[in-house]
Amino acid sequence: MVVGVNRPSRLIIDASAIRHNVSEEVQRLDQKSELFAVIKANGYGHGIRKIAQFTKEAGATGFCVAILDEALDLREAGFTEPILVLGITDPDSAKLAADNDVSLTVGDQEWLNQVSQQSVTFSNPLKVHLAIDTGMGRIGFQNSEEFAKAADFMREHSEKLDFEGMFTHFATADEKNTDYFNLQTSRFKEFLNALSEKPKYVHVSNTATSLWHAACNGNMIRFGVGIYGMNPSGRAIESPYELKPAMRLESKLVFVKKIKAGRSVSYGATYTAKEDEWIGTIPIGYADGYERRLQGFYVLIDGQKCEIVGRICMDQMMVRLPKEMPVGTKVVLAGQSGSESISMTNIADYAATINYEITCGFTDRLPRIYENEQ
């Protein structure tokens, strides 16, 4: 996608906020635990390579990604730290991962069988983390006996397979009710007890678990949404320390006009002025990830809330202004303006989703501008 550098809509990423969030969590870990930064999905929309650098500077000792291609991008960028791919990778890509020292997630015996039978030679054994499904219902072993056999199988095929880690993922760690969380914890202990020898990494903690259930951390945490200054529970549970938002979204007014009472705005004529109004146009739309369902929400201009009127278009949207304002006036779609602010959680609440989806949804057409890099 072409990056829109010649228009005023842009994302501003604060490197100091990233470093603060990671270093705060590193300080809470015991000396035997490591923090792997989860920077999948282009660093939750913040930029994978830059976030890798900022988190490394703050104490992250490894990275977690979703797909092998993300890991290879980090290797191409010169990062030598451990990288774990959290999703399932095709067995045919095992050699590519091994040759680039990338750890892969495996969730069943058949995957291991296919790799062990491959005739190709690996430069190094493939590092494997066995996923355990304790209740997430996504990927992983559900039976502790099959899991233990898989671990033994890898030790028998150590020329190709290195049992580096084991992990599970909690479905409700960001909720006040801990019943299901405790059930998953007890199931994970069954898998731990099934092993005669534990791997290098035993990890269960995502951001929510590390924030509110630190006793479960194991010796590595997968720190994700907290990196970016967003609370994984939304508003349900308070974070033990300040999470500083790392991303702002800003633009400018490019057109300002006065419309008469009875005139309508945008597709479908869903908004009609009840009186004479000043309307401003902003060059951003759903093709940038500012979604159509945000009609009726607001932006900030000179510290004032300005309602989004009419349907959000692919590349533009309109807001009702309190008065005539000059073209070029700054617009804050996420961030601070005067005494008012809009957080990603504010946007997510209005859109009936989670803050993760909002930042991940911003497209590459929006330039990422980094501040406080040094």
Contact in structure between 264 and 271 (CB atoms under 8 Å): yes
* DSSP-H helix ranges across the chain: 15-28, 40-44, 48-58, 68-76, 94-99, 109-116, 144-156, 179-193, 207-212, 344-351, 355-361
Beta-ladder partners of 209: none
Q: Which of 40, 50, 127, 252 is catalytic?
A: 40
Q: Which residues contact 246 (CB under 8 A, 6 or more apart)?
A: 13, 14, 15, 17, 18, 21, 46, 227, 228, 229
Contact in structure between 335 and 248 (CB atoms under 8 Å): yes
Is 138 labelled a binding residue? yes
Is 314 labelled a binding residue? yes
Distance CA 55, CA 43 (A): 11
Does residue 330 carry a catalytic annotation? no
The encoded tokens of residue 82 equal 């451990």
Helix (H) or strand (E) holding 163: strand 161-168
Distance CA 96, CA 102 (A): 8
DSSP single-letter state for residue 241: S
The encoded tokens of residue 247 equal 């991303």
Nearest Cα neighbor of 365 from 285, 310, 295 is 285
Sign of CA dihedral 192, 132, 147, 105: negative
Q: Which of 44, 267, 271, 370 is catalytic?
A: 267
What are the CB-based long-range contacts (under 8 Å, 24+) for 207-210?
Answer: 207/38, 207/232, 208/170, 208/173, 208/174, 208/232, 208/233, 209/170, 209/173, 210/25, 210/28
Beta-ladder partners of 256: 280
Residue entry with tokens 């006009």: 257
Contact in structure between 125 and 161 (CB atoms under 8 Å): yes
Does residue 32 carry a catalytic annotation? no
List, as residue ranges, the binding site: 138, 314
Q: Which residues are annotated as a binding site for substrate?
A: 138, 314
List active site positions.
40, 267
